[in-house]
Structure 1
């Protein structure tokens, strides 16, 4: 789907600029999440501090993009697909900011545990990489307004859910075998749940893409019905 071309060249420029800003914000969040996984794996305190500092930039981008959406609505009074695009962008940056918050909280977990020698009880890397790939695919689908790619994202989320369930079972075993691990298990459980939520937020972005292109709200729709739109 191409962004509608308007008589006003300035309006075209505004729409393209705001789309590019979303992709730039998404790229920053993707890097933040990758850095957070590395910080957890290596217990890198310096990298964790950098993630916390960069989260302020992600927050600022959300505010700036939202303000631009409000300005465009007030100035251009868009209708139909243009209005859907702007509403989609406003919702997308909210989900991206929440994903940035996950990276920030994972980094703070590393900082709070600084000085402790034990590594995480289970590896979060595999599930984390799946979540980052899903975000990358969501941003790619957003860039191209690709409904088929958006529909495929639903199935990627299933893979993350299965890994999350596997991690929970493993952590439960640790707690039953040695109750002294419970505080550490709760930390890892929280981190795993946060990563699993990234998949859900990427699925939200796929919903917005389908809504923008097809004009159909697929939230709370069965996956079989979503598949038929691809």
Structure 2
């Protein structure tokens, strides 16, 4: 059975309705926090702001605590309510989503640590244009996937799934450019390697945003598309059966 954004507000138990709504709210709060972490980490790098970079690393503990709290909520709902059908899909999708959000937070911390190192070294490394561009792309993917989750929006989730290939192409192109630069100027190797690690982290953020979008499709349709090539998805069938 397909579900909509108001499916989980129709239980006889008002308390159960409230528990499910709070679960979604807490997930969105965690999502907003990790999205800000990525933004701040990239800003720290682009502006050589080591203090901001250190703060992003410190904030990772708060994200981990959010994950534990949401997982505990899910466990209690599973134990007390024994949800079935769409309710069970919601709880499972939230558990999967919090795992991906926590990993996005980890990637933001990696970016922040590299930002601090580059700031302290006083370098203005190559590749910052690529970092800015890819970071804007993956942050939009994270934001759109969270919006799709909040709205149970299949169309938006599918857009995010297809964006992942574009990010992968941008990442590959940027890495080739930086490899060429390192060969031309060996003195730049240390700083350029740090930028490469940042780009790798951003590419991983895009992967996790893609996962979030896939969780939305599972939530709404009950279909697990994690191992299906996006080009092979029957999108008309997915949308038409909603």
Instruction: State the TM-score, normalizing by the size of structure 1.
Output: 0.96
**Cα root mean square deviation, aligned:** 1.3
The alignment status of 1:183 with 2:175, answered yes or no, reads no
Runs of 5+ consecutive residues of structure 2 not aligned to the other structure: none
Residue number among 28, 32, 50 corresponding to 2:33 in the alignment: 28
- Output the CA distance in 2 between the equivalents of 1:114 and 1:176: 23
Q: CA deviation at 1:175?
A: 1.8
Question: Deviation digits for residues 80-119 of structure 1, max 9, x if unmatched?
Answer: 1111110000010010010011111111112233431212
Q: Give the equivalent residue in structure 2 for 1:108.
A: 113
Q: Give the equivalent residue in structure 2 for 1:207.
A: 214
- Output the CA distance in 1 between the equivalents of 2:118 and 2:220: 45
- Output the CA distance in 2 between the equivalents of 1:110 and 1:225: 39
Q: Give the equivalent residue in structure 2 for 1:172.
A: 179
Q: CA deviation at 1:65?
A: 0.2
- Output the CA distance in 1 between the equivalents of 2:147 and 2:120: 39
Q: CA deviation at 1:154?
A: 1.6
Q: Give the equivalent residue in structure 2 for 1:78.
A: 83
The alignment status of 1:216 with 2:215, answered yes or no, reads no
Report the 3-state secondary structure (helix = DSSP H, G, I; strand = E; otherwise coil) of the residue aligned with 1:131: helix
The alignment status of 1:62 with 2:67, answered yes or no, reads yes
- Output the CA distance in 2 between the equivalents of 1:11 and 1:40: 44
Q: CA deviation at 1:35?
A: 0.6
- Contact map agreement 2:134 2:171 (CA 8 A) in 1: yes
Report the 3-state secondary structure (helix = DSSP H, G, I; strand = E; otherwise coil) of the residue aligned with 2:138: helix
- Contact map agreement 2:45 2:116 (CA 8 A) in 1: no
Q: How does 1:105-144 map to 2 (within 5 A)?
A: 105-123=110-128, 124-144=131-151
Question: Deviation digits for residues 97-146 of structure 1, max 9, x if unmatched?
Answer: 10011111111112233431212311201100101011000010000011
The alignment status of 1:148 with 2:163, answered yes or no, reads no
Q: CA deviation at 1:51?
A: 0.8
40-49 or 149-158, which deviates more? 149-158
Q: CA deviation at 1:49?
A: 1.6
- Output the CA distance in 1 between the equivalents of 2:186 and 2:122: 19
- The number of aligned residues is 230
Instruction: State the TM-score, normalizing by the size of structure 2.
Output: 0.91
